[in-house]
Amino acid sequence: MFDPGFLWGAATSSYQIEGAVAEDGRGPSIWDTFAATPGAIQGGDTGAVAADHYHRFPGDVALMAGLGLRGYRFSLAWPRIQPTGSGAVNQRGLDFYRRLTDTLLDQGIQPWPTLYHWDLPQPLEDRGGWPARDTAERFAEYAALVHEALGDRVTHWTTLNEPWCSAFLGYATGRHAPGRRDPAAAVRAAHHLLLGHGLAAEAIRGDDSHVGITLNLTHVTPVGTEPADLDAARRIDGMQNRLFLDPLLRGAYPDDVLADLREVTGFGHVHDGDLKRIGASLDHLGVNYYAPMLVAGSSTPTQSAYVGSPLVRVADGGRPRTAMGWEIDERGLLELLLRLKDDYPAVPLYITENGAAFDDVVEHDGVHDAHRVAYLDGHLRSCAQAIGHGVPLKGYFVWSLLDNFEWSFGYGPRFGIVHVDYATQHRTPKDSARWYAEVIRRGGL
């Protein structure tokens, strides 16, 4: 069961909700550039206005308070704070986050900032982006600036959101900004993201500062017991989970994953001492879970985000799916949490994202999103079971507070528990928001 200190929250990210991309000195990010590329985003959508949270944050915080949220996970846009990715602070950008943080604290809502949720300053990409080691150093510098400004009000820091996506969707498949298709660069990016996390953790950790990272993890199972299927599951688990968990929690890359990746690149970019820094960096771990993965061996090579693993295909588990086409299986979350407890040293865990997009219908009396309520209810039951088995799970942030810009899918998929009418910016709490408020009020299901 959930203890009284359990942190009940909701999450968002800067580029997905803020808008105001050219205001108060913000510099361009890789997502501004990518979104302006014809064909990159469905419907040609961009984050230029999004949910206009930059201007409407007081109302949005009031909404959070009305729901009884205890924590709010948001991200800071690096290009608001350092418009070129290095050098002096843009005070107006920093002030926005100071006002947001203070408004949250006034309402008794714990600010839970993430320093990087994918909006890299474009000038840093022009100098090589995450495949370049210098970007990790710049990230630590930026982290130190933010910590200096907000460290008196923020206790729990998340460095990166889902470095797997930044590295492999951004640099291998080209489906995310900056849209590069260079598997070797993606592998270097993955290491430099982890290094940037480690350096940032050194810069901000202190008596009152707890440092975490958020990973998108999944529960991987093979379709059967054929060696090819077992190998497919090992490879995908390696690329999606262990490539990040092992350096962070054991201080070493897994040998089998290094062997798989050697088909793509060497590891000269991993310097002596890097893994020591990465491995000593976590006070807590953020887990983003949406769906399990069922995989099979394949005889046809495919190019995917799982570089170094071409002979793998994702199989159909036959379960109902969300509007993203993701299979719904809350048992995958339970298995994942138990696995983290069994395979890695104990570290406090937080579900930093969990939620679902469905084709919501706005009716005269609201948005009756029963599918989302069922999804959240099932996954929270898995959380409760995991806690019962001794998993040190300390909090849960639903993704997302608001409908928002879903990256290359644009504004089509709606993940919010609060509906946003993008034409009027009117917010309507869905049934799931009311249901979640009641869960929080009761302290559980």
Residues 287/217, Cβ–Cβ less than 8 Å: yes
Looking at residues 270 to 289 of the shown chain, list those that interact with ligand IFM (rule: CB under 6 A): 288
Opening angle at CA 369, ends 363 and 371, nearest 5: 145
**CB-nearer residue toward ligand IFM: 306 or 399:** 399
Print the binding letters for residues 405-434 with ligand IFM: x by CB under 6 A, - otherwise. -x--------x-------------------
Question: Residue 392 or 410: which CB sits closer to ligand IFM?
Answer: 410
Amino acid (1-letter code) at residue 252? A
363 is catalytic: no
Contact by Cβ (8 Å): 393, 386: yes
Pick the binder of ligand IFM from 32, 119, 162, 329 (CB under 6 A). 162
- Here the tokens at position 362 are 């706005």
What is the smallest separation between the CB atom of 1 and ligand IFM, expressed in angstroms?
A: 27
CA 279 to chain centre: 20
Both tokens assigned to 286: 């953020």
CB of 192 to ligand IFM, least distance (A): 20
Work out whether 166 is an interface residue with ligand IFM (CB under 6 A): no
How big is the CA angle at 253 (ends 247 and 258), to the nearest 5 degrees? 155
**From candidates 353, 360, 369, 403, binder to ligand IFM by CB under 6 A:** 353
C-alpha 326: how far from chain center: 16
> Is-contact 47 16, C-beta < 8 A?
yes
DSSP code of 172? I
CB of 161 to ligand IFM, least distance (A): 6
Cα–Cα distance between 5 and 341 in angstroms, integer?
A: 20
Determine if 241 is a binding residue for ligand IFM (CB under 6 A). no
Residue 208 burial (CB < 10 Å; 0-12/13-18/19+)?
A: exposed
Shortest spacing between CB 16 and ligand IFM, in angstroms: 6
Residue 13 binding ligand IFM, by CB under 6 A: yes
Residue whose entry in the numeric block shows the structure tokens 């498949």: 173
Residue nearer to ligand IFM on the CB measure, 13 or 281: 13
Nearer to ligand IFM, 117 or 242 (CB): 117
Is 125 catalytic? The answer is no
Catalytic residues: 162, 353
Residues of the shown chain interacting with ligand IFM in the complex, contacts defined by CB under 6 A: 13, 16, 162, 288, 353, 399, 406, 415
